Amino acid sequence: MSVAPQEGAAGTRIALEALRAALLSGDLAPGQRLVEAELAASHGVSRASVRAALMDLAAEGLVERIPNRGARVRVVTVEEAVAITECRMVLEGLCAAKAAERVDDEQAAALTALGRQLQQSVADGEPVVYSARNRELHRLVREISGQEVATGLLDRLNAQIVRHQFRLALRTGRPQVSLPEHLAIIDAIVRRDPAAAERAARTHLASVIAALQESAEG
């Protein structure tokens, strides 16, 4: 006996969470068509639920709906990625400063341990592992900051440029450039120096922008 697909708000939530996770992990490629019937079958929800989820994702800038042709994953240009990263620079700086104000001893120890893991992954020549730990560091800083509005905005911005972030992380020599930048962020937060933490975060994002611009020229 077949199970009826989830409908209404519950179905939309299931579809939205699944699609957002696939976009954030890079499982859905820029320009890839998003077929409602296939997505509904894959996630056990109704087509109406998928359609509602795609509308939400379009509002977030992750998906684009094409008249009479359905939807596809939005392609973000390097120029857009730079503009998004400029916004991230402000928000990440805010979160780093707030984290330096709020960090407790246990959180400081977790950041320090993560810094050692970042160093180890660079020493071992494991850019994929380094990239994962890099994302964990940014997530942990946002969590410590307690700045929920900035965190929500950053989640939406990061989702739009996940492919560009993957490419940068795998570029030869990039981890060696970003490692000291990440360690500076950790050091400032652990020392509970908000101004230095914000400055370090902004310096790191400025470096990301420069790398993105290099990729456009290359």
3 inside domain:
no
CATH number for the domain harbouring residue 104: 1.20.120.530
Q: 164 and 57 in one domain? A: no
Domain encompassing residue 205? 78-217
Could you please report the per-residue DSSP string of 41-62?
HHHTB-HHHHHHHHHHHHHTTS
Q: 128 and 207 in one domain? A: yes
| pLDDT at position 178 over 70 | yes
CATH number for the domain harbouring residue 20: 1.10.10.10
| pLDDT at position 72 over 80 | yes
Distance CA 191, CA 45 (A): 49
Q: 185 and 88 in one domain? A: yes
| pLDDT at position 161 over 90 | no
Give pLDDT, residue 214. Answer: 84
Residue 2: band (very low, low, confident or very high) from pLDDT cuts 50, 70, 90: low
The percent of residues in the chain predicted with pLDDT above 90, rounded, is: 50
Residue that finishes a domain, picked among 24, 39, 73? 73
Q: 41 and 12 in one domain? A: yes
1 inside domain:
no
140 inside domain:
yes
Q: 201 and 107 in one domain? A: yes
Q: Which whole-number Å values give the CA distances from 112 to 46, 105, 115, 146, 158, in the listed order?
A: 46, 10, 5, 19, 24
For residue 186, the surrounding DSSP H or E stretch is helix 174-190
pTM above 0.75, yes or no: yes
